[in-house]
């Protein structure tokens, strides 16, 4: 049984077997209780110590250690190598790591609570709020599991994984909304995700970093940022043309040409995204490749592999399923929540939904900024925006095509103008390569203004629809 | 000659910072030397001579003040004849020297108050003329005039002032490209772009017909955005004045440059603290009076001169308000100090977009006028395009007369388009 991350607690009297098992050196940090286990010959102990690796700090952080120690002792006292109990132990341990080690998981109960509330009462407002809060820790765990899996698969596939699952939450929410036919919600939530990444996440990162380092301006790699924002701008331009065509009333068949153009553009954008991924993964040694957080984060905290490959895949599936379940409740409750809270659906889609989807990236960007690693923050923010504009949105159009929904790239005029202006201005502002808390303040205030304008924004199409109905 | 020397000593004793007075200054004081000499000996007459001297310094020394008589003339014309065209023209010309002297008095005051408050003063009074004109127009309910004149001020700063500065600087230094500090220019223009973006959202919301309550949401959003922009401006001032010795603040740069290099011009404060405060008050009062007549005469002048009110608000009014900055920007460009020029031009635009426009919205809110950020579609588009293009063009870090020429020609095109521009809302009414 080869297992890279395995911890062997069963003290066996067959040293050779144990030697085999420890062939593959993992990067697991081992608690001190293991050294107390008796019946170890010197060699065995030695090997244990050799494997004791980076970051006892992670284990200190891991508040599950007392429980593991208890189970260690119980298993070691049993003194027999039983595969079932071993599995149980492994399962329990990985459950611990996934569920209990992150403080954000305090929000986990909100998920089941949302389902309960939905079944018991019809209060859409509460269902929405609770499922919103419930998705947040799941999104974070999804990111964690993806990172862990990426350790096993090597940088190439790992980058691909990060790229795909990075925005999995938003994609899942969008697909559910598409299934329900809420096309505007899809468009607005994806657009809001880009806006939130460019303004709110960047602004908070600059602000927090600037406050921590207020003696000087923080510097970041101008070249990488310029390349990435140029890409983003081109992606946004590709997204805008169907909308511009529609609003200048210059289509051949009003409404239909624009849909066909959207679908064609989406395929083109997906091809562009594929080549972007190939380019990134091939040229990982390029100096300006700033947004592979993968490479940079090796130096950081959660760099050790904490769960095994099989476990990672398993948890990926579980968390994704759980997010899907919650998203369904979330999307079902949007309209009811909008009436209950008396705010436009546009505001909920553009501002509230993306905050949820981006929460994990938000937190990590702020953390990296406070450690003066602005390149990673920028990589996260701009990379996420680029992924959404080059992959997320066209993918949803194609899925809508398959599902035969009328999903197109015709974001209404206000959203289109807002997106274009924002991306242009932020791309321009990032060009000088420095940051300070004031720029962060400006970005956050701009986001507040954008949010306020969406608060008083009503879709002209929804008004027409309601008149027609 | 003795009296002149005594005059010299008296100057030095009057709290100047001891730097040698230029020969030019001595020369100018020759003819009141006897008066000053006698004043030295007689106590009560000393104040009298001080007042006279300060009047001399403030009013008679600057050549631009030949235009001062136009002010009273305008008032006279207003009462004698009803010719709005002439009243408008004369008050326009009359405000120009007052605006310049206002800037001078502010600078003088800044010497006494230290760099922090000095920067704050410059920031507030830098656009005092436009602020006063706008408040009068608001009181008269001429909301479009206010919006257009503030917008025109930004356009004029970015295109005309910069263009003239680059052109004159380029002609004077025609054998090379002038260089300026790219980093500061990029940072400042990025800031301006973000401020303009913040200003644009209410207009974009209105024009995509996507407000919850047509017309009303947009005013509410404008007021909210204005408060947010004022908070942004406060943090901008806080950030600039916190003593960061870097390239951000054009104000500090200007004063440093003046202290280090210039020994011929306003190197030393020329009037005392109280005199500068007094003159500040007097000039502000005088500017207010003239602005009253100016604003009253706009509509009549528009008919008399048969040009649209839009053209008058966007092109003519800002030229007046910016005249002093215009002159100083050109002067600094010709001395190859383009950083100061850029600081003046972009800094003034940023101040207007981050402070003055939101401030006018809030004042309108208090006055109960419906002033909002909904510059009409044409103005909004031209503002955004201009700021974007100029910000982009400044990224290179060099200037020559051709760039100046292009900027001026762009301004001519913008002016021409406003000459042919009628407000759609005016037609609706």
- Give residue-wise pLDDT tens across range A122-148: 778 888 888 888 888 888 888 778 877
Q: Is the pLDDT at A149 greater than 90, yes or no?
A: no
Please say whether the beta carbons of B297 and B94 come within 8 A: no
Q: What is the mean pLDDT of residues A199-214?
A: 90
Classify residue A108 as left (phi > 0), alpha (psi -120 to 50) or beta: alpha
pLDDT tens-digit map of A64-73 = 444 444 445 4
Q: Do A456 and B208 touch (CB under 8 A)?
A: no
Please say whether the beta carbons of A280 and A159 come within 8 A: yes
Question: What is the residue extent of each domain of chain B?
Answer: 1-61, 66-419
**What is residue A262's three-state secondary structure?**
helix
Percentage, residues of chain A above pLDDT 90: 10
A44-80 burial, b at 16+ Cβ within 10 Å, e below that, comes to beebbeebbeeeeebbeebebbeebeebbeebbeeee
Question: Distance, in angstroms, between B221 CA and closest chain A CA?
Answer: 6
Please say whether the beta carbons of A91 and A53 come within 8 A: no
Nearest to A224 by CA among A369, A370, A382: A382
pLDDT at A309: 80
pLDDT tens-digit map of A371-408 = 888 888 888 888 888 889 889 999 999 999 998 888 88
Q: Is the pLDDT at B406 greater than 80, yes or no?
A: yes
pLDDT tens-digit map of B346-388 = 888 888 888 999 999 999 999 888 888 888 888 888 999 999 8
B349-358 burial, b at 16+ Cβ within 10 Å, e below that, comes to bbbbbbbbbb
Q: Is the pLDDT at A11 greater than 60, yes or no?
A: no
Nearest to B178 by CA among B347, B335, B346: B335
Contacts 24+ apart (CB under 8 A), A105-113: A105/A137, A105/A141, A106/A137, A107/A133, A107/A134, A107/A136, A107/A137, A108/A134, A108/A137, A108/A138, A109/A134, A110/A134, A111/A135, A111/A138, A111/A322, A111/A326
Using a CB-CB cut-off of 8 Å, the residues of chain A touching B186 are 431-432
pLDDT at A4: 39
Percentage, residues of chain B above pLDDT 90: 12
Classify residue A289 as left (phi > 0), alpha (psi -120 to 50) or beta: beta
At a CB cut-off of 8 Å and minimum separation 6, what does B391 contact? A428, B186, B189, B190, B192, B193
Residue A337: CA count within 13 A, CB half-sphere: 22
Please say whether the beta carbons of B187 and B248 come within 8 A: yes
Question: Distance, in angstroms, between B234 CA and closest chain A CA?
Answer: 11
Question: Distance, in angstroms, between A56 CA and closest chain B CA?
Answer: 42
Q: In A169-313, where do the E strands start and end?
A: 218-219
pLDDT at A461: 60
| Distance from C-alpha of A356 to C-alpha of A134, rounded to nearest angstrom | 9
B152-166 burial, b at 16+ Cβ within 10 Å, e below that, comes to bbbbbbbbbbbbbbb
Q: Do B191 and A446 touch (CB under 8 A)?
A: no
Nearest to A432 by CA among B364, B68, B187: B187
Q: What is the mean pLDDT of residues B91-114?
A: 80
Segment holding A340, helix H or strand E = helix A334-341
Interface of A with B (CB under 8 A): 217, 344, 412-414, 417-418, 421-422, 424-425, 428-429, 431-432, 434, 436-438, 441-443, 445-446, 448-450, 452-453, 456-460
pLDDT at A248: 81
Task: Report ipTM for this prediction.
Answer: 0.75
pLDDT at A23: 36
Q: Do A456 and B217 touch (CB under 8 A)?
A: yes
B85-105 burial, b at 16+ Cβ within 10 Å, e below that, comes to bbbbbbbbbbbbbbbbbbbbb
Q: Do B235 and A414 touch (CB under 8 A)?
A: no
Using a CB-CB cut-off of 8 Å, the residues of chain A touching B220 are 456
pLDDT at A36: 38
pTM of the predicted model over 0.90: no
Using a CB-CB cut-off of 8 Å, the residues of chain A touching B392 are 428
- Quote the mean pLDDT of chain A: 74
Question: Distance, in angstroms, between A109 CA and closest chain B CA?
Answer: 36
Q: What is the mean pLDDT of residues A401-422?
A: 86
What are φ and ψ of residue B178, in 5° steps?
-80, 145
At a CB cut-off of 8 Å and minimum separation 6, what does B412 contact? none
Q: Is the pLDDT at B9 greater than 70, yes or no?
A: no
Q: Do A460 and B208 touch (CB under 8 A)?
A: yes
pLDDT band with cut points at 50, 70 and 90 for residue A447: very high
H and E: helices and strands count for chain A: 23, 2
pLDDT band with cut points at 50, 70 and 90 for residue B19: very low
| Distance from C-alpha of A337 to C-alpha of A334, rounded to nearest angstrom | 5
pLDDT band with cut points at 50, 70 and 90 for residue A5: very low
Question: How many CB pairs below 8 A link A and B?
Answer: 96
Q: Which residue has the higher pLDDT, B226 or B182?
A: B226
pLDDT at A255: 67
Nearest to A369 by CA among A220, A228, A223, A224: A220
Q: Which of A317-321, A398-402, B195-199, B256-260 shows the lowest per-residue confidence on average (mean pLDDT)?
A: B256-260
Q: Do A412 and B224 touch (CB under 8 A)?
A: no
At a CB cut-off of 8 Å and minimum separation 6, what does B147 contact? B371, B375, B379
Q: Is the pLDDT at A292 greater than 60, yes or no?
A: no
pLDDT at A429: 84
Classify residue B422 as left (phi > 0), alpha (psi -120 to 50) or beta: beta
Nearest to B204 among A417, A425, A448 (CB): A417
- Quote the mean pLDDT of chain B: 77
Q: What is the mean pLDDT of residues A448-453?
A: 90
Looking at the domain A109-466, which fold is it? A middle domain of Talin 1 (1.20.1420)
Question: Distance, in angstroms, between A220 CA and closest chain B CA?
Answer: 14
pLDDT tens-digit map of A272-282 = 888 888 887 77
pLDDT at A284: 57
pLDDT band with cut points at 50, 70 and 90 for residue A207: very high
* Eight-state DSSP code of residue A5: T
pLDDT at B162: 92
pLDDT band with cut points at 50, 70 and 90 for residue A29: very low
Q: What is the mean pLDDT of residues B172-177?
A: 84
Q: Does B391 touch chain A (CB under 8 A)?
A: yes
pLDDT band with cut points at 50, 70 and 90 for residue B36: low
Q: Do B201 and A441 touch (CB under 8 A)?
A: no
Q: Is the pLDDT at B23 greater than 60, yes or no?
A: no
Q: What is the mean pLDDT of residues B247-254?
A: 42
Using a CB-CB cut-off of 8 Å, the residues of chain B touching A418 are 201, 204
Q: Do B232 and A424 touch (CB under 8 A)?
A: no
Q: Which of A52-56, A228-232, B90-94 shows the lowest per-residue confidence on average (mean pLDDT)?
A: A52-56
Please say whether the beta carbons of A169 and A391 come within 8 A: no
* Eight-state DSSP code of residue A430: G
Q: Is the pLDDT at A263 greater than 70, yes or no?
A: yes
The residue among A458, A459, A460, A465 with the most chain B CBs within 10 A of its CB, best to mutate, is: A458
pLDDT at B83: 77
Q: Do A442 and B239 touch (CB under 8 A)?
A: no
Facing residues of A457 across strands? Answer: B211
Q: Does B429 touch chain A (CB under 8 A)?
A: no
pLDDT band with cut points at 50, 70 and 90 for residue A204: very high
Using a CB-CB cut-off of 8 Å, the residues of chain B touching A446 are 194, 197-198
Q: Which residue has the higher pLDDT, A224 or A208?
A: A208
**What is residue A435's three-state secondary structure?**
strand
Ranges A94-103, B161-170, B235-244, most confident: B161-170
**Tell me: domain B66-419, CATH 1.20.1420.30, correct?**
yes
pLDDT band with cut points at 50, 70 and 90 for residue B228: very high
pLDDT at B44: 62
Total count of residues recorded for chain A: 469
Q: Which of A17-31, A69-83, B115-129 shows the lowest per-residue confidence on average (mean pLDDT)?
A: A17-31
Ranges A74-88, A302-316, B131-145, most confident: B131-145
Nearest Cα residue in chain A from B245: A216
| Distance from C-alpha of B150 to C-alpha of B35, rounded to nearest angstrom | 46
Using a CB-CB cut-off of 8 Å, the residues of chain A touching B241 are none
Nearest to B90 by CA among B328, B279, B323, B301: B301
């Amino acid at each position: 049984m080869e297992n890279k991350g395995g911890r062997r607690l069963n003290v066996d009297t067959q040293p050779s077997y144990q030697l085999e098992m420890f062939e593959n050196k993992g990067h697991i940090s081992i608690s001190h209780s293991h050294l107390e286990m008796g019946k170890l010959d010197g060699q065995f102990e030695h090997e244990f110590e050799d494997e004791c690796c980076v970051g006892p700090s992670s284990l200190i952080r891991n508040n599950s250690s007392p429980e593991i120690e208890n189970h260690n002792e119980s298993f070691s006292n049993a003194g027999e190598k039983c595969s079932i109990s071993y599995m149980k132990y492994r399962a329990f341990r990985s459950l611990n790591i996934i569920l209990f080690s992150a403080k954000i998981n305090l929000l986990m109960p909100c998920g089941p609570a949302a389902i309960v509330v939905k079944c018991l009462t019809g209060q859409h407002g509460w269902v929405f709020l609770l499922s919103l809060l419930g998705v947040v820790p799941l999104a974070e765990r999804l990111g964690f599991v993806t990172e862990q899996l990426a350790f096993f698969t090597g940088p190439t596939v790992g980058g691909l994984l990060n790229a795909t699952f990075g925005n999995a939450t938003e994609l899942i929410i969008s697909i559910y909304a598409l299934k329900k036919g809420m096309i505007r919600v899809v468009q607005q939530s994806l657009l809001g995700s880009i806006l939130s990444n460019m303004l709110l996440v960047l602004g908070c990162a600059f602000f927090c970093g600037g406050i921590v380092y207020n003696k000087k301006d923080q510097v970041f790699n101008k070249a990488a940022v310029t390349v990435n924002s140029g890409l983003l701008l081109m992606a946004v331009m590709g997204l805008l043309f169907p909308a511009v065509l529609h609003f200048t009333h210059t289509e051949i068949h009003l409404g239909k040409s624009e849909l066909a153009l959207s679908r064609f553009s989406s395929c083109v954008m997906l091809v562009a995204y594929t080549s972007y991924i190939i380019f990134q993964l091939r040229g990982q040694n390029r100096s300006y490749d700033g947004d592979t957080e993968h490479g940079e984060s090796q130096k950081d905290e959660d760099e050790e592999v904490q769960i095994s490959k099989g476990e990672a895949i398993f948890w990926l599936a579980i968390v994704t399923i759980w997010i899907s379940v919650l998203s369904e409740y979330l999307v079902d409750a949007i309209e009811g929540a909008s009436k209950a809270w008396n705010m436009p659906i546009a505001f909920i889609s553009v501002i509230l939904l993306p905050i949820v989807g981006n929460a994990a990236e938000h937190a990590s960007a702020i953390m990296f900024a406070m450690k003066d690693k602005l390149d990673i923050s920028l990589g996260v923010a701009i990379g996420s925006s680029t992924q959404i504009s080059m992959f997320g949105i066209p993918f949803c159009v194609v899925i809508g095509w398959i599902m035969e929904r009328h999903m197109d790239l015709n974001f209404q005029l206000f959203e289109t103008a807002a997106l274009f202006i924002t991306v242009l201005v932020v791309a321009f502002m990032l060009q000088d390569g420095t940051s300070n808390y004031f720029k962060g303040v400006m970005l956050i205030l701009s986001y507040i203004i954008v949010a306020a304008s969406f608060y008083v924004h009503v879709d002209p199409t929804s008004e027409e629809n309601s008149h027609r109905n | 000659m003795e009296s002149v020397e005594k005059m010299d000593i008296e100057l030095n004793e009057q709290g100047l910072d001891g730097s040698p007075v230029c020969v030019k200054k001595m020369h100018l004081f020759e003819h009141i030397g006897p008066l000053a000499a006698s004043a030295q000996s007689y106590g009560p007459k000393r104040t009298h001579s001080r007042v006279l001297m300060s009047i001399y310094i403030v009013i008679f020394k600057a050549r631009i003040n030949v235009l001062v008589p136009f002010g009273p003339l305008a008032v006279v014309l207003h009462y004698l004849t009803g010719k709005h065209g002439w009243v408008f023209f004369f008050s326009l010309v009359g405000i120009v020297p007052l605006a310049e002297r206002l800037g001078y008095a502010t600078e003088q005051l800044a010497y006494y108050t230290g760099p922090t408050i000095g920067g704050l003063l410059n920031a507030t009074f830098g656009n005092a003329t436009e602020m006063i004109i706008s408040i009068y127009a608001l009181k008269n309910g001429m909301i479009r005039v206010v919006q257009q004149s503030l917008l025109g001020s930004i356009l004029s700063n970015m295109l005309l002032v910069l263009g003239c500065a680059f052109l004159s600087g380029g002609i004077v230094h025609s054998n090379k490209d002038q260089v300026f500090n790219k980093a500061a220019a990029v940072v400042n223009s990025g800031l301006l772009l973000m401020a303009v973006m913040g200003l644009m959202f209410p207009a974009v919301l209105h024009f995509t017909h996507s407000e919850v309550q047509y017309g009303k949401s947009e005013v509410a959003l404008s007021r909210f955005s204005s408060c947010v922009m004022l908070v942004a401006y406060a943090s901008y001032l806080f950030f600039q004045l916190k003593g960061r010795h870097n390239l951000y603040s054009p104000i500090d740069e200007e004063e440093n440059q003046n202290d280090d290099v210039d020994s011929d011009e306003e190197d030393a404060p020329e009037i005392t603290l109280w005199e500068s405060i007094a003159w500040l008050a007097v000039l502000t009062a005088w500017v207010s009076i003239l602005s009253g007549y100016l604003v009253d005469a706009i509509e009549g002048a528009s008919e008399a001169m048969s040009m649209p009110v839009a053209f008058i608000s966007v092109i003519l009014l800002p030229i007046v308000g910016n005249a002093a900055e215009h002159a100083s920007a050109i002067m600094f460009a010709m001395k190859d100090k383009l950083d100061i020029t850029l600081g003046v031009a972009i800094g003034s635009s940023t101040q207007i977009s981050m402070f003055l426009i939101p401030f006018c919205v809030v004042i309108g809110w208090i006055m109960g006028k419906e002033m909002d950020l909904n510059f009409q579609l044409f103005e909004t588009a031209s503002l955004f395009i201009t700021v974007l293009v100029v910000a982009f063009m400044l990224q290179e870090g060099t200037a020559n007369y051709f760039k100046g020429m292009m900027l001026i020609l762009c301004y001519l095109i913008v002016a021409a388009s406003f000459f042919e521009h009628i407000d759609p809302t005016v037609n609706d009414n």
